Structure 1
Amino acid sequence: MTILKQILLLSLSFMIFACGSQDNQNSDTQAVSDTESVEMTEASYVEQATFEDMSGNTVSVSDFKGKVVLIDFWETWCKPCLAIFPTMQKLQEEYPDDFVVLAVNPGFADTKEDAQNFISEHDYDFRYLLDSNDLNEKLNVQSIPFKVYVDAEGNFIKSDIGSYGENKDYQALKSVIEKHKLSSEGE
């Protein structure tokens, strides 16, 4: 009887494992479908994003077609956010016709006044914006610096979190600009 119980348990275990395995395959397939759906949603959120400038005007990502757009979520207290500002400024100066920085303050801790004070004390030529339509929530931004890249045609490229140091950030961003700016051939 002990052998019979062992065979029965072994058979039962095999059936549970086999069913679980099938469920996992379906689950994996579903996860891929969900991921593709999320990426499509992320792209549409970014491509249709609007913000508020410091004067209360609506600014759209589509206003910058023809340029590679970097949407940089930042706040005044975020040292890694501020550390990358000189690099972004340098690249914006190197590519004035091909690249623009949208410095978007999501208002995690900063107020509009905090952002305005920072702007008045620093000499960066970014388009400073407020995340008035909560793009950060739609993209599930959990920490900053958080960067979103849009190509010159207005299409979402990718998002990225953190900073890798001045030189690596410069090279990575320059590579994105070079790859996604409008071609100057045939002009």
Structure 2
Amino acid sequence: MLKKWLAGILLIMLVGYTGWNLYQTYSKKEVGIQEGQQAPDFSLKTLSGEKSSLQDAKGKKVLLNFWATWCKPCRQEMPAMEKLQKEYADKLAVVAVNFTSAEKSEKQVRAFADTYDLTFPILIDKKGINADYNVMSYPTTYILDEKGVIQDIHVGTMTKKEMEQKLDLD
């Protein structure tokens, strides 16, 4: 009787362990740069010199924007991004990754941020994160859900309303 009881417990444990492993294997999103994939994490310095990573925004929707100061469409959408950040700060993180290696200087990026009164983090990309995300044109924006999964990729300028719709903030 004891042998049957122990065999039953072992069988239940084995089935549970197998089920847990299957759940862990198939519930994780594949890391990549396509819609439906987990956005690759990265860590860069901000204009203020602090380290910031994509993981810092977990739990919030993320507007991940790749831009440059010389990009006219980028300049056009920055005020809308700032408004979004202020309006939805409790559930949205705006993360702006500057293509710093294509800028004249970091001072130019800082002056740009000051001119537009930008309060969201501006990350200085000297590592090539732009290339890791296959950014070919500016601005390029990735919309991530609260778990860091890519929901949308948009190349070109967006209005505040378009950003709100893509982020499903209404």
Call closer, same or farther: CA 1:57–1:90 in 2, change over 3 Å. Answer: closer
Q: Secondary structure at the match of 1:41?
A: coil
2:94 to 82, 98, 101: 101
Matched length: 138
Query: Given the two structures, how large is their TM-score scaled by the length of structure 1?
Result: 0.65
> Retained in 1: the 8 A contact 2:143–2:151?
yes
- Compare CA radii of gyration and give the structure with the larger one: 1
2:154 to 154, 160, 180: 160
Partners of 1:109 and 1:45 in 2: how far apart? Answer: 27
| CA RMSD across the alignment | 2.3
Query: Which whole-Å deviations, capped at 9, do the CAs of 1:82-117 have from their partners, x for residues lacking one?
Result: 101121122222212011211111125212121112
Gap regions ≥5 residues in structure 1: 1-38, 182-187
Partners of 1:123 and 1:68 in 2: how far apart? Answer: 22
State the one-letter code of the partner of 1:94: E
Percent identity of paired positions between Structure 1 and Structure 2: 32
Partners of 1:100 and 1:40 in 2: how far apart? Answer: 20
C-alpha deviation, 1:177, in angstroms: 2.5
Call closer, same or farther: CA 1:163–1:91 in 2, change over 3 Å. Answer: same
Q: What residue is the counterpart of 1:112 in the other structure?
A: 106
C-alpha deviation, 1:151, in angstroms: 1.0
Gap regions ≥5 residues in structure 2: 1-29
Q: Which moved more, 1:53-62 or 1:95-104?
A: 53-62
Q: What residue is the counterpart of 1:175 in the other structure?
A: 165
Call closer, same or farther: CA 1:57–1:92 in 2, change over 3 Å. Answer: closer
Query: Given the two structures, how large is their TM-score scaled by the length of structure 2?
Result: 0.70
Aligned pairs for 1:1-187 within 5 A: 40-42=31-33, 46-110=39-103, 111-164=105-158, 169-178=159-168
C-alpha deviation, 1:141, in angstroms: 1.2
Partners of 1:57 and 1:153 in 2: how far apart? Answer: 23
> Retained in 2: the 8 A contact 1:68–1:100?
yes
Query: Which whole-Å deviations, capped at 9, do the CAs of 1:122-142 have from their partners, x for residues lacking one?
Result: 312221111243221112211
Call closer, same or farther: CA 1:112–1:145 in 2, change over 3 Å. Answer: same
Partners of 1:79 and 1:88 in 2: how far apart? Answer: 15
Q: Secondary structure at the match of 1:174?
A: helix
Partners of 1:76 and 1:148 in 2: how far apart? Answer: 19
Partners of 1:159 and 1:138 in 2: how far apart? Answer: 14
